[in-house]
Amino acid sequence: MSAPISSGPTPPPDMPADELAVASSVPESQGRLIWRRFVGNKIAVASIVILLLIVLFSFSAIGIGPIHGWWQYGYKSLNPQVNRGDPTLSLLPRFLGGDGISLGEHPFGQDRIGKDYFAMTMRGIQNSALVMVVLGLIATVVGVVVGAIAGYYRGTVDAILMRVTDVFIVIPALVIGSVVGNKFGSLGAPVLAIMLGFFSWMGIARLVRGEFLSLREREFVEAARVAGASDMRIIFRHILPNAMGVVIVSATLIMASAILLETALSYLGYGIRSPDVSLGLLISSNQSAFQTRPWLFWWPGAFIVSLALLVNFVGDGLRDAFDPRHRRFKLSKMRETRPEPEPEEQQ
Amino acid sequence: MVAFVLRRILVSILILVAASFLMYVMVGYSAQPLQDLQGSNSPNKQQLINARVALLDLNVPPPLRWVLWIGGVAKCAIPFANACDLGSTISNARVIDILPNALAATVQLVTLALVLAILLGVTIGIITALRQYSGLDNTVTFISFFLYSLPAFLVAVLLKEFVAIGFNDFLRDPVIGGVALVVIGLVVGAIWQSLLGGDGRRRLVVFLVSGLATSGILLLMSATGWFKHPGLGAIPVILLVSAIALGAATLLAGLRNRRAYITAGINAVIAILAYFTLQPLFDISSAGTLFILALATAAVGLVSGFLAGGYDRGQNMRVGTVTALMSGAVVLLDRFMQSWGALVTATNGRPIATVGSKTPGLSGDVWLVGLDTFTHLTLPTIALLLISFAGYTRYSRAGMLEVLSLDYIRTARAKGLPERTVIVRHAFRNMLIPLTTLVAFDVGALLGGAIITEKVFAIPGMGSLFNAGLGRGDLNPVMGYFLIVAAMAITFNFLADMAYAGLDPRVRIR
């Protein structure tokens, strides 16, 4: 997946990235270095902030479960049609000729039967966020365990686990998702996310296996073994921390595709079912009304794309931070910073 | 080598069998094929239920039923016996009978999208790699991130609900407004200047020329009612064919290669002559005739390239074939456009279709039917294309940058080869090797994406077979779909591995 992308000319051989870190005045740990590289990536940091804000906003607006949020309508309640269901949101200030900044009665409008579209969209975002996190976590944990065991033990164990992975990987994600969703979609978003997670771990397993195959030959593993560490300790305390870069980056990418998978399944009718709300379900159930009420399309559409886009940007930033070979390299900046090289300045 | 291939095929079949068991059991336990009957009020309800249970062996638990099913599938392996048995649907149709039509519809859709995605994605990826960190590169990078984050159903619904209907409305009164002309001109100018690059002066000239030309042509088209009666006509065909010949020779062989220009010129002249002389033949053509003509065109390209000779025959033959095929495509396009009026009449003035794969009740010559298929495929193909296009752009950009930083490229430049030769003959070929793996993955993704696209556009393909089957609890068509898709995915992965080994001498298979 993460093919090495050396962006343009490589830095001069007398200044590889690792030595740049040593050259700076204060010695830094690996984690601190990665953190500084990530924070230096403005797009990624902005993305993660906006993403968290959107999710917090959606949870605070309509609340979680029995807890009420600050928004007056629920996503299931039917309301009288106000202004033919047009959105009442107004962002243009009065001095620019608009109606002033106000939310109004139904900021995102109403659907055909009068449900408040703002509350529904917020509920959809909640569900997307939930599926993203739960699916991502489960797929990552299963994938890491399978990949680590296969890569560490090699031989027969590896062969069996990898053939199992092959069996799962043959079925396209959307196909297996539809089958799983058909069975478990009616049980709600958390169950759906957990079940989908158990069918999405194959990519991570292969990557982690590859990392383990090369890391297990290194000296520090040998040292740990000589010191009498158990296999589990070597796998999880010695090798895995060194493979965390691959794990975190591909977990983020799985999360981005989880959003798209959930919305697509809900669109097809195999995901989250009414009366619960998913952004994909909103688009599917209002499809016939788009000519007369286009906002029924634009709100969920915009939020699906923004969520996925923001997660993808975060993933890209993480990849840059973990793998210096991916670093965006600019010749002009290289020249500017040559006297006192600072790796995080070159983002 | 033979041992490797045999082992690989054996393992693939075992994986396919295991995956089919997984799939069968999962669908089998989740499906409720008796649901519609149990809710019915028909007097012979119990009888109907019994009949369906007998038809689909529903009293056998799914894992055991899978054994029966795989036994039927195994009969497909007997050559020429025609004993394939993929079970029957709920409505007692044999899956093996409905599969070929569905497969044809999907393959038509996916192939076009795949080819276009590769061509466009690789081209744009290379251009952005050559203009790294320019405005163009950053824009394309952002767009590809955006496309990555765009769900297939959103694109499809957007195209169907807004683009198709908007374009059909536009065709009712095809006049482009002044503001739209200016905006289109500005956008096209901006795109061209960033594609061609260069210093400020050159960019300005390119921007002005391309922008004004685009606006002017559109104004002319709008004023002469071209959108109502589209067609190329003699002069545009001649101009287009000449441009293709020049472009192909310049790009593939370079300005100094006179023989390449001779080859391209011969093919262009033949294409233009064919355009004028073959029209009566076109009128009575069938699909078979067109196929033969296409083969003849390719042959003319190859032979003319070979005869023109010179020190690099292979190059000349490539130039000749590319010119001949592309010019042929222009001539065909012109002929297809002549049927546009008939299609507009047949579809009540709304030629861009949003549903199905052909206009019901439409009959006519190969041109009219072809054009009809084309207008039906346009939107679903774009929807599929946009998704995988982003991947090809990213990969080919990264691959090109990586290849360009290698030593042999420096050597090629150092020995004084022109930049065009370095890019096209040295870098481009090696950049293509890793893409074979991506194509194999992409075939699976496209077939999955076809489920959604076929649902939105109501195309009766494999995806809708799967979708309808899963919705009804109809196990056998779902498994038929799975069998084809999984087999295709495995085959393409296998082919990609073989191609990789064939193309890259560093990879050795044992």
The pLDDT tens digits for A176-226 are 899 999 888 888 899 999 999 999 999 999 999 999 999 999 999 999 999
Query: Which pLDDT score, from 0 to 100, does residue A18 have?
Result: 47
Q: What span, in angstroms and rounded, lies between the C-alpha atoms of B495 and B489?
A: 10
Tokens (6 digits) for A295: 């906002």
pLDDT at position A259 is 93
The answer on pLDDT for B384 being more than 50 is yes
Q: What is the pLDDT of residues A232-275, one digit of tens each?
A: 999 999 999 888 888 998 999 899 999 999 999 999 989 898 88
pLDDT category of residue B326 using cuts at 50, 70 and 90: very high
- Whether residues B145 and A3 touch (CB distance < 8 A) is answered with no
Greater pLDDT, B69 or B231:
B69
Between B238 and B310, the higher pLDDT residue: B238
The identity of residue B123, as a single letter, is T
Give residue A202's pLDDT.
92
Range in A287-296, A325-334, B343-352 with the lowest mean pLDDT: A325-334
Q: Look at residue A335 in the predicted model and tell me its pLDDT.
A: 40
Of B431, B503, B443, the C-alpha closest to B125 is B431
pLDDT in tens, A82-139: 777 777 776 666 666 666 666 777 788 888 777 888 888 999 999 999 999 999 999 9
Which residue did the predictor score with more confidence, B347 or A17?
B347
Task: Return d(Cα B401, Cα B396) in angstroms, integer.
Answer: 8
DSSP A103: -
Determine phi and psi for A182, rounding to 5 degrees: -60, -35
A142: pLDDT strictly greater than 70 = yes
A91 Cα to chain B: minimum distance (Å): 25
Strand partners, B88: B94
Spatial distance between the Cα atoms of B348 and B325, rounded to a whole number of angstroms: 34
End-to-end CA distance of chain B: 6
Beta bridge partners of A102: A90
Cis peptide bond prior to A275, omega within 30° of 0: yes
ipTM over 0.90: no
pLDDT of B402-414, one tens digit each? 898 889 999 999 9
d(C-alpha A60, C-alpha A65), whole Å: 11
Distance CA(B139)–CA(B124), nearest Å, equals 12
- Look at residue A340 and tell me whether its pLDDT is greater than 50: no
User: Do residues B90 and B52 make contact, with C-beta atoms less than 8 angstroms apart?
Assistant: yes
**Helix A173-184 × helix B2-30 angle, to 10°:** 20
| SS3 assignment, position A115 | strand
Contact B158 A268 (CB under 8 A): no
The Cα of B58 is separated from the nearest Cα of chain A by a number of Å equal to 18
Length of chain B: 510
Min Cα–Cα distance to chain A from B412, Å: 16
CB contact under 8 A, B470 and A182: yes
pLDDT of residue A96: 65
Q: Are A311 and A252 in contact (CB under 8 A)?
A: yes
Interface test with A, best of B154, B387, B400 (most A CBs within 10 A): B154
Which pLDDT value is given to residue A124? 93
Query: pLDDT tens, B423-468?
Result: 988 999 888 888 888 888 888 778 877 899 999 888 888 989 999 8
pLDDT at A4: 43
More confidently predicted of A299 and A15: A299
Which element (helix H / strand E) includes A257? Answer: helix A240-268
Spatial CB neighbours of A190, under 8 Å, sequence gap ≥ 6:
A130, A134
Residue whose tokens read 């979708």: B467
User: Who among A4, A179, A264 is closest to B152 (CB)?
Assistant: A264
